[in-house]
């Protein structure tokens, strides 16, 4: 490689060093670099490929501490895969950004990027400059997005039934599909209850997900209220409160701690006695203040002193301690209460209310949780997931999150396209058609882009146990012949290729984002032609 | 071109067939490990834990075995996890659930080798699960009035496969009595199990009072009738000043003495306040120092220190008192009460016994046994039995035991399999075969001719005799319901569902990615 060029000579013949420690760095350049990157990216994409679609399989990931995660959520797999190759890391980022932006389609985006790179490699072998390929991809991407827009459908967001169907598409590929309908309804109801249809905004922070091991997936429910993993601070406090007035406190039931540093010296017995008196009074004042405000339940972010705890109990004031920050905020929103930082600030107006507060018990173990229901602000809700073991619950939560995202995207932008690879195929056909009209080398890139788009339905067919090439060529012929762009892979063997009939729905937003994100990353990878990696960290693989 | 490394150094990835193979092998190994403990004639395992081989456990409780072995195979971990959940949820059937899941995977492996897509197997299994659940439901009987007899029978069945089987009549009575005292509440906390070394197992008994492994302080009354108990959680050593930043600074010896006196006075006041409650027993969660102890002795009050937190909560529950931490309002404080507190001897140890307690729910079970291991195993067995009984009280439905339900489900699944078209049918059939394996293993463990017995049993079920099962003692087919071998519907249902769920999870995997293990000290645990 071109390492000798790094040692230059000035006009006097003195050597000078442009780059230090050449021998300690690994370096690859030019086509070789691009090819090695493509290889790495494709390897990652190949791992994910088998997770695509309703019949895709899961991946088992073992963390450094030996914990097992089983998932088919692309973003989660990528995150836990422990990659070290820099380009593979780019793919991880790609999947993550799709997750952040859209929440769904994290597998598809990686598979698409992998396919694009595979096509690019072929072109590079034919001697086309990577930049030309990148530019061609960019143009093709625009065309594909246009096509998507043109085949998109309006979706009746008001129609709950249709929303449930959409959620079912998203959940269909996950383990929760044994209770598909139920989970889809949970997701839809959750989003609809927090969604603001006027501003088309969905605040996910209002949806809390709690999981508890035990029971079955079918036992999962949507609680209109908040469930927190806490119990009453004193074992003998009442376990059920009706029409509770809730005081939310962020100050501990302890003697006050001034922020400024101070020392209190006890020098005589009088001081000692006075101090005792003070201590006692502080506790009593605190309790009195809470009681006087009319609260029937105190929720506190901090701990209680034993004495305070008993005083609360003696005064019939149930209390919950060590409630986390985000939970406190959710509670405050749900119950319409103010978060009170000091006891003295507490008054009746700042209290929240809830129709029912109760402790729920599970199984034979002593697991208890506190559920706060019938809140005045029904926007805060909790999805409570049950399942055979922790891995199932985690996976169910991830699946639900994806479904929630899909519904949210629909609320934001009601345009949809149909799944099953139909949209990709339609775009591919249009892009291929367009290619013939282009003069210049970009034409090849255009065709390559179309081929790459076809890889999605291809992977779907493969995962479903169909013969991929047969299924795809059949489908393509049909789409061109009938002009019906809703034809996709019949992954579940229902007997029809029309995705509109099968009700396999995806959001336009998600698909657009997938294609444009994948193209961007591919462009970026194609443009790299020189990589240096410091060798001393033993990161080397070259 | 140079090789490209994508994952970190010691991380590795297994794909497709090899991933599937590794999870099948792992899960099946776990199944084989616990297989021999299944059934009334199952054998126990010795578990040696820790570095120096100190803690030895002898058990045949599936969950305990799986908890103690450090498994590395991820699929095996799924099974272990599932067994734990079964333990938490219904308490028993932890071995069966693992064995069933392993058998389901074994069948699935055969199907995968026949080139059937895992998702097809999964949907077949799901369908089969539905059929099995339905069949189980149809065969279940509500207990109705004779719940006590049913509970006894269930307890006998559960205990039959444990170390307690020699004394199962005795322990079944004991467990049922204890559970019935709970009066429908599922609060197992109220049942306290005290293990005392020595004596033989049938000397174990149910004490309807409450036993506390603590003694009153010196010179205090040893026996209190009509006790009025104040249960507290308060420091009785030196009462610290809790105001932040305070510290004691003195400038002379005299001052120290003064302060000491003040401190003493403070404690005295506290004790006086407690005494003002007019109680004759004082139980504290925290330590009681010798000075207050002496004060209590002077006042002829029984004072018990250091009852740990659980003990205090249980005491409060049993005696109907309130845990107090301040003593300013004697009028409003709620006292616990019981008829008699006395010291009793069990073996070598002295315990306090609270009898005639208000809340009839609570009771204590005293277990006796020759070795620590026997005691622990007895406790686990009894715990399993109690859990099952509590579950049964919640939903009082029974199904036939001794392999009858498994064969029943298997037969129902096999019959339905014929009606299913397509490849799924093979999976449904496989599910039925896996279910049939459970009674087969139980027979094998008992040294019986499993092939003969299970096929005969199947024939009986085909003729509609759904109450037929295997009498392990005699080695023949009998009406097990008449024999009194019944199990709780809930436990069985939970077992089948979670086994199927875990199997599905493992089957869906086609790729295992292991991250580089974190560097750490060597793990010397066996396996």
pLDDT one-digit tens code per residue, A417-435: 888 888 888 888 888 888 8
Helix ranges (H only) for B36-93 are: 62-68, 74-89
Is pLDDT above 80 for A118?
yes
Average pLDDT for chain B? 78
> b/e for B269-304, b at 16 or more Cβ within 10 A?
ebbeebbebebbbbbbbbebeebbbbbbbebebbbb
Residue B408's pLDDT is what? 85
Nearest to A50 among B247, B501, B511 (CB): B511
How many residues does the structure list for chain B?
527
Name the pLDDT band for A1 (thresholds 50, 70, 90).
very low
Nearest to B323 among A64, A305, A310 (CB): A310
Is B508 in Cβ contact with A58 (below 8 Å)? yes
Name the pLDDT band for A93 (thresholds 50, 70, 90).
confident
On chain B, the residues whose CB falls within 8 A of the CB of A305 are 242
On chain B, the residues whose CB falls within 8 A of the CB of A257 are 244-245
Average pLDDT for chain A? 80
Most confident of the ranges A3-17, A130-144, B310-324: A130-144
Taking residues B364-384, report their average pLDDT: 81
B92 and A CB contact within 8 Å: no
Taking residues B67-73, report their average pLDDT: 78
Sign of CA dihedral A198, A203, A206, A208: positive
User: What is the C-alpha to C-alpha distance for residues A121 and A142, in angstroms, rounded to an integer?
Assistant: 21
Is pLDDT above 80 for A443?
yes
Residue A168's pLDDT is what? 83
Residues 6+ positions from A111 with CB-CB distance below 8 Å: A45, A48, A49, A52, A455, A456, A459
User: What is the C-alpha to C-alpha distance for residues B433 and B28, in angstroms, rounded to an integer?
Assistant: 16
Q: Cα separations (Å) of B370 from A441, B47, B197, B365? A: 88, 19, 6, 17
Is pLDDT above 80 for B243?
no
Asked if A468 and A462 count as a contact pair (C-beta separation under 8 A), the reply is: yes
On chain A, the residues whose CB falls within 8 A of the CB of B72 are 66
Using alpha carbons, select from A100, A421, A513, A530 the residue that is nearest to residue A92: A100
Percent residues over pLDDT 70 in chain A: 92
Lowest model confidence (mean pLDDT) among A259-273, A324-338, B475-489? A259-273
CA distance, residue A359 to nearest chain B CA (Å): 14
Is B324 in Cβ contact with A266 (below 8 Å)? no
Residue B524's pLDDT is what? 61
B241 and A CB contact within 8 Å: yes
Is B250 in Cβ contact with A58 (below 8 Å)? no
User: What is the C-alpha to C-alpha distance for residues A346 and A245, in angstroms, rounded to an integer?
Assistant: 12
Nearest to A62 among B247, B333, B515 (CB): B515
Sign of CA dihedral B160, B165, B168, B171: negative
CA distance, residue B346 to nearest chain A CA (Å): 29
User: What is the C-alpha to C-alpha distance for residues A102 and A106, in angstroms, rounded to an integer?
Assistant: 9
Is B324 in Cβ contact with A214 (below 8 Å)? no
* Nearest chain A residue (CA) to B387: A364
B395 and A CB contact within 8 Å: no
User: Who has greater pLDDT, B469 or A215?
Assistant: B469
* Nearest chain A residue (CA) to B11: A82
Residue A538's pLDDT is what? 46
How many residues does the structure list for chain A?
542
* Nearest chain A residue (CA) to B79: A389
Is A465 in Cβ contact with B117 (below 8 Å)? yes
On chain A, the residues whose CB falls within 8 A of the CB of B395 are none
Is pLDDT above 60 for A537?
no
Residue B472's pLDDT is what? 80
Is B325 in Cβ contact with A309 (below 8 Å)? yes
Lowest model confidence (mean pLDDT) among A444-458, A481-495, A524-538, B73-87? A524-538
Residue B85's pLDDT is what? 78
What pTM value is reported for the model?
Answer: 0.80
Is pLDDT above 80 for A62?
yes
Taking residues A507-520, report their average pLDDT: 88
Taking residues B90-117, report their average pLDDT: 85
Name the pLDDT band for A7 (thresholds 50, 70, 90).
low
A153 phi/psi in degrees, rounded to 5: -120, 155
Nearest to B518 among A64, A72, A255 (CB): A64
On chain B, the residues whose CB falls within 8 A of the CB of A31 are none
* Nearest chain B residue (CA) to A215: B89
Is pLDDT above 70 for B370?
yes
3-state SS assignment for residue A355:
strand
Most confident of the ranges A379-383, B144-148, B206-210: A379-383
On chain A, the residues whose CB falls within 8 A of the CB of B509 are 57-60, 70
Is B74 in Cβ contact with A60 (below 8 Å)? yes
CA distance, residue B221 to nearest chain A CA (Å): 28
User: What is the C-alpha to C-alpha distance for residues A41 and A43, in angstroms, rounded to an integer?
Assistant: 5
Name the pLDDT band for A23 (thresholds 50, 70, 90).
low
CB pairs under 8 A between A and B: 248
On chain A, the residues whose CB falls within 8 A of the CB of B9 are 84, 538
Taking residues A199-226, report their average pLDDT: 78
Taking residues B399-411, report their average pLDDT: 83
Percent residues over pLDDT 90 in chain B: 0
Is A279 in Cβ contact with B1 (below 8 Å)? no
Most confident of the ranges A350-359, A494-503, B280-289: A350-359
User: What is the C-alpha to C-alpha distance for residues B35 and B39, in angstroms, rounded to an integer?
Assistant: 9
Is pLDDT above 50 for A138?
yes
On chain B, the residues whose CB falls within 8 A of the CB of A391 are 78, 81, 505
User: Who has greater pLDDT, B437 or A217?
Assistant: B437
Nearest to B119 among A55, A256, A541 (CB): A55
Residue B521's pLDDT is what? 61
Residue B1's pLDDT is what? 46
B523 and A CB contact within 8 Å: no
Is pLDDT above 70 for B525?
no
Lowest model confidence (mean pLDDT) among A68-77, A435-444, B162-171, B232-241? B232-241
Q: Cα separations (Å) of B435 from A174, B280, B408, B440, B501? A: 26, 61, 9, 9, 15
Residue A325's pLDDT is what? 78
Is A310 in Cβ contact with B262 (below 8 Å)? no
Q: Return the structure tokens found at B165.
A: 């089987």
Nearest to A82 among B16, B387, B516 (CB): B516
Taking residues A82-98, report their average pLDDT: 83
On chain B, the residues whose CB falls within 8 A of the CB of A313 are 322-323
Residue B308's pLDDT is what? 65
pLDDT one-digit tens code per residue, B428-450: 888 888 888 888 888 888 888 88
Is pLDDT above 80 for A255?
no
Residue B400's pLDDT is what? 80
B126 and A CB contact within 8 Å: yes
Asked if B492 and B404 count as a contact pair (C-beta separation under 8 A), the reply is: no
Residue A4's pLDDT is what? 45
* Nearest chain A residue (CA) to B251: A267
Mutate to test the interface with B, among A29, A39, A53, A57 (most CBs of B within 10 A): A57
Using alpha carbons, select from B176, B167, B214 the residue that is nearest to residue B367: B167
Catalytic residues of A: 73, 106-107, 402
CA dihedral B265, B267, B273, B274 (to 10 degrees): -150
How would you class B74 by CB atoms within 10 Å of its CB: exposed for 0-12, middle for 13-18, buried for 19 or more? buried
User: Who has greater pLDDT, A237 or A183?
Assistant: A183
Nearest to B244 among A36, A257, A269 (CB): A257
CA distance, residue B515 to nearest chain A CA (Å): 5
CA distance, residue B80 to nearest chain A CA (Å): 10
Taking residue A10's Cβ as centre, other Cβ atoms within 10 Å add up to 8
CA distance, residue A474 to nearest chain B CA (Å): 22
pLDDT one-digit tens code per residue, A459-487: 888 888 788 888 888 888 888 888 787 88
User: What is the C-alpha to C-alpha distance for residues A454 and A471, in angstroms, rounded to an integer?
Assistant: 11
pLDDT one-digit tens code per residue, A32-46: 888 888 888 888 888
Residue A2's pLDDT is what? 43
Q: Return the structure tokens found at A300.
A: 């506190």
Is B247 in Cβ contact with A215 (below 8 Å)? no
Is B517 in Cβ contact with A66 (below 8 Å)? yes
Name the pLDDT band for B332 (thresholds 50, 70, 90).
low
Residue B198's pLDDT is what? 78
B186 and A CB contact within 8 Å: yes
Nearest to A60 among B84, B118, B509 (CB): B509
Is B242 in Cβ contact with A255 (below 8 Å)? yes
Is pLDDT above 60 for B56?
yes
B260 and A CB contact within 8 Å: no
- Please write down the long-range contacts of B520-523, taking CB distance under 8 Å and 24 or more positions apart: B523/B70
Lowest model confidence (mean pLDDT) among A80-89, A360-369, A385-394, A449-458? A360-369
Nearest to B78 among A44, A391, A542 (CB): A391
């Amino acid at each position: 490689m071109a390492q000798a060029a790094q040692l230059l000579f000035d006009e006097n013949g003195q050597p000078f060093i442009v780059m230090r420690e050449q021998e300690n760095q690994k370096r690859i350049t030019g086509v070789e670099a691009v090819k090695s990157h493509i290889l790495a990216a494709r390897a990652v994409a190949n791992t994910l490929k088998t997770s695509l679609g309703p019949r895709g399989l899961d991946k088992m990931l073992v963390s450094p501490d030996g914990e097992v995660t089983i998932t088919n959520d692309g973003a989660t797999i990528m995150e836990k895969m422990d990659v070290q190759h820099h380009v593979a890391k780019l793919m991880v980022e790609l999947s993550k950004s799709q997750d952040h932006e859209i929440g769904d389609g994290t597998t598809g985006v990686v598979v698409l990027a992998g396919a694009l790179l595979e096509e690019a490699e072929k072109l590079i072998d034919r001697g086309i400059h990577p930049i030309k390929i990148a530019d061609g991809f960019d143009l093709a991407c625009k065309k594909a997005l246009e096509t998507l827009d043109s085949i998109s459908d309006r979706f009746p967001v008001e129609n709950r039934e249709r929303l449930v169907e959409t959620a079912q598409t998203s959940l269909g590929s996950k383990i929760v599909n044994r209770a598909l309908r139920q989970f889809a309804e949970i997701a839809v109801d959750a989003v609809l209850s927090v969604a603001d249809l006027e501003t088309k905004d969905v605040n996910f922070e209002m949806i809390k997900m709690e999981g508890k091991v035990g029971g079955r997936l079918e036992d999962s429910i949507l609680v209109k209220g908040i469930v927190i993993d806490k119990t009453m601070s004193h074992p003998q406090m009442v376990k059920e409160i009706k029409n509770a007035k809730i005081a939310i406190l962020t100050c501990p039931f302890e003697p006050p701690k001034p922020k400024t540093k101070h020392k209190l010296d006890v020098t005589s017995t009088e001081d000692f006695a006075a101090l005792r008196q003070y201590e006692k009074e502080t506790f009593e004042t605190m309790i009195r203040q809470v009681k006087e405000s009319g609260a029937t339940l105190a929720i506190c972010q901090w701990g209680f002193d034993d004495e305070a705890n008993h005083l609360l109990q003696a005064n019939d004031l149930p209390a919950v301690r060590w409630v986390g920050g985000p939970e406190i905020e959710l509670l405050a929103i749900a119950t319409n209460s103010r978060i009170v930082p000091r006891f003295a600030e507490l008054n009746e107006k700042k209290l929240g209310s809830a129709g029912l507060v109760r402790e729920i018990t599970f199984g034979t173990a002593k697991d208890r949780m506190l559920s706060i229901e019938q809140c005045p602000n029904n926007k805060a809700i909790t999805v409570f997931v049950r399942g055979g073991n922790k891995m199932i619950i985690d996976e169910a939560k991830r699946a639900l999150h994806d479904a929630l995202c899909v519904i949210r995207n629909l609320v934001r932008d009601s345009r949809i396209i149909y799944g099953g690879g139909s949209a990709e195929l339609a775009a591919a056909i249009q892009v291929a058609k367009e290619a013939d009209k282009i003069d210049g080398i970009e034409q090849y890139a255009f065709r390559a882009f179309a081929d790459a788009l076809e890889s999605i339905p291809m992977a779907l067919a493969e995962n479903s146990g169909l013969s991929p090439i047969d299924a795809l060529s059949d489908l393509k012929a049909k789409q061109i012949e009938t002009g019906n762009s809703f034809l996709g892979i019949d992954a579940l063997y229902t007997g029809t290729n029309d995705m509109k009939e099968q009700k396999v729905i995806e959001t336009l937003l998600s698909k657009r984002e997938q294609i444009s994100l994948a193209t961007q990353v591919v462009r970026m990878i194609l443009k790299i032609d020189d990589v240096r990696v410091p060798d001393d960290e033993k990161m080397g693989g070259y | 071109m140079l090789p490209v490394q994508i994952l970190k150094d010691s991380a590795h990835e297994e794909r497709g067939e090899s991933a599937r193979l590794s999870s099948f092998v792992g899960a099946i190994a776990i199944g084989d490990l616990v297989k021999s403990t299944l059934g009334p004639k199952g054998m126990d395992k010795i578990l040696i834990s820790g570095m120096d081989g100190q803690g030895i456990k002898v058990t045949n409780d599936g969950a305990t075995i799986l908890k103690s072995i450090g498994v590395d195979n991820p699929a095996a971990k799924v099974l272990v996890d599932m067994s734990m959940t079964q333990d938490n949820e219904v308490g028993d059937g932890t071995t069966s659930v693992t064995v069933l899941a392993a058998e389901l995977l074994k069948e699935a492996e055969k199907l995968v080798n026949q080139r059937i897509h895992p998702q097809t197997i999964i949907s077949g299994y799901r369908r089969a699960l539905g059929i099995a659940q339905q069949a189980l439901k149809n065969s279940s009987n509500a207990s109705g009035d004779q719940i006590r007899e049913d509970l006894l029978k269930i307890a006998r069945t559960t205990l039959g496969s444990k170390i307690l089987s020699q004394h199962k009549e005795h322990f079944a009575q004991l467990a049922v009595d204890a559970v019935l005292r709970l009066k429908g509440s599922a609060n197992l906390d109220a049942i306290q199990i005290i293990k005392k070394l020595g004596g033989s197992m049938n000397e174990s008994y149910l004490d309807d009072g409450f036993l506390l492994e603590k003694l009153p302080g010196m010179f205090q009354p040893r026996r209190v009738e009509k006790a009025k108990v104040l249960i507290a959680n308060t420091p009785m050593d030196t009462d610290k000043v809790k105001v932040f930043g305070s510290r004691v600074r003195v400038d002379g010896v005299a001052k120290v003495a003064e302060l000491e006196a003040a401190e003493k006075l403070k404690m005295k006041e506290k004790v006086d306040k407690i005494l003002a409650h007019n109680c004759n027993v004082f139980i504290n969660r925290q330590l009681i120092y010798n000075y207050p102890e002496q004060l209590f002795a002077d006042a002829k009050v029984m004072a018990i220190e250091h009852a740990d937190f659980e003990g205090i909560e249980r005491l409060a529950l049993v005696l109907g008192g309130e845990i107090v931490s301040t003593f300013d309002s004697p009028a409003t404080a709620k006292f616990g009460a019981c008829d008699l507190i006395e010291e009793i001897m069990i073996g070598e140890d002295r315990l306090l016994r609270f009898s005639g307690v208000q809340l009839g729910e609570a009771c204590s079970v005293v277990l006796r046994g020759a070795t620590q291991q026997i005691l622990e195993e007895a406790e686990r067995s009894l715990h399993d039995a109690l859990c099952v009984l509590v579950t049964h009280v919640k939903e009082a439905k029974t199904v036939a035991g001794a392999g009858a339900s498994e064969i029943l489900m298997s037969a129902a699944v096999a019959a339905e399999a014929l009606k299913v078209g397509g490849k799924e049918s093979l999976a449904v059939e496989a599910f039925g075969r896996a279910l049939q394996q459970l009674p087969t293993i139980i027979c094998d463990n008992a040294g019986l001719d499993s092939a003969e017995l299970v096929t005969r049993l199947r024939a009986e079920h085909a003729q509609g005799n759904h109450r037929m099962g295997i009498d392990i003692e005699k080695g023949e087919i009998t009406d097990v319901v008449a024999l009194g071998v019944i199990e709780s519907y809930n436990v069985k249902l939970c077992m089948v569902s979670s086994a199927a769920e875990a199997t599905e999870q493992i089957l869906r995997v086609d790729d295992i990615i292991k991250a580089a293990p974190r560097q750490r000290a060597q793990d010397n645990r066996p396996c």
